[in-house]
Amino acid sequence: MVDKTYIPKGEVPPASQIGATLEALGAAIAARREADETSYTHRLLAGNVDGVLKKVMEEAGEVALAAKDVEGWATSSLAAAVALQAAGDKAADDQSETLGQGGAAAELQPLSVQLPPEYGEAVDHLRYEAADVVYHLLVVLERYGISLDEFAAELNMRMTDEERPAGAVRLHGEYVRRGK
C-alpha cells in the first residue's frame, strides 16, 4: 500500500490520551473484519455501506440535537436569573421610594446564574453522542482503508506550523487536497 504520510526527520511523535484511545478503538474496529455477524462493527464493515453512512448522519444529527439541549438549559437558566434579578431590583427601588429616597437606583449586582442538574446531564449526553459519531466515523475510515495516521495527517496539514505538534505526521504534497 502507498504510504501517503511522513514524519519529518529528527522529530519525535507525540504521546497523548486521545491518541492512544483512538488507536485502540481503530485497532478493535479493524480486528472486527474477521469477526462474525454477531458483531455490530463487523456488520457495519461488511454489510451494505448505506448502513454505516446512515449511522454517521444520524449520530451527527443527534450531536446537534444534544448541543441544542445544552443551549436550552443554559438559556432557560439565564432567563430565570435575569427575571429573579429584575424582581430583586424592583423590590429595592420600591423600598427606596418608600423610605423617601426618590427611588435611587440600587447598586448593580453581578448576575448569578444557577445551572440545574439537567444542564450537566445534557453535557454528558452531548459527549455520549459525540463518541457515537467518532466510532461510526472510524468504521467508515476503516472501510475505505484510511488509516488513523493518514487521517491525523489530514488534520495536521490544516494546522499552521505553530499549531502543529512536533513530530506530527504529514501528508506528502501529492496527496494534499484542497476544499472544493
Ligand X SMILES: N=c1c2ncn([C@@H]3O[C@H](COP(=O)(O)OP(=O)(O)OP(=O)(O)O)[C@@H](O)[C@H]3O)c2ncn1[C@@H]1O[C@H](COP(=O)(O)O)[C@@H](O)[C@H]1O
Q: Which stretch binds ligand X (CB under 6 A): 7-15, 21-29, 74-82, 83-91?
A: 21-29
Assess contact for 111 and 81: CB atoms under 8 A.
Answer: yes
Q: Which stretch binds ligand X (CB under 6 A): 14-22, 38-46, 114-122, 154-162?
A: 38-46
Closest separation between CB of residue 138 and ligand X, Å?
8
Alpha-carbon distance of 139 to 52, in angstroms, equals 8
Q: Which is nearer to ligand X, 35 or 146 (CB)?
A: 35
Q: Which is nearer to ligand X, 3 or 58 (CB)?
A: 58
Q: In the range 76-135, which residues lie near ligand X by CB under 6 A?
A: 129, 132, 135
Q: How far apart are the first and last CA of the chain?
A: 27
Does residue 40 belong to the site contacting ligand X (CB under 6 A)? yes
Judged by CB under 6 A, the number of residues near ligand X is 12
Whole-number Cα distances in Å, 64 to 67, 86, 113, 123, 135: 5, 33, 24, 12, 16
Q: Which is nearer to ligand X, 50 or 161 (CB)?
A: 50
What is the 8-class DSSP label of residue 47? Answer: S
Does residue 142 belong to the site contacting ligand X (CB under 6 A)? no
Closest separation between CB of residue 71 and ligand X, Å?
18
C-alpha grid cell for residue 155?
Answer: 488534520
Alpha-carbon distance of 135 to 26, in angstroms, equals 9
Closest separation between CB of residue 94 and ligand X, Å?
49
Alpha-carbon distance of 8 to 157, in angstroms, equals 13
> Strands, DSSP E only, in 33-175?
170-171
Q: Using CB under 6 A as the criterion, which residues of the chain lie in contact with ligand X when the complex forms?
A: 25, 28-29, 32, 35, 39-41, 62, 129, 132, 135
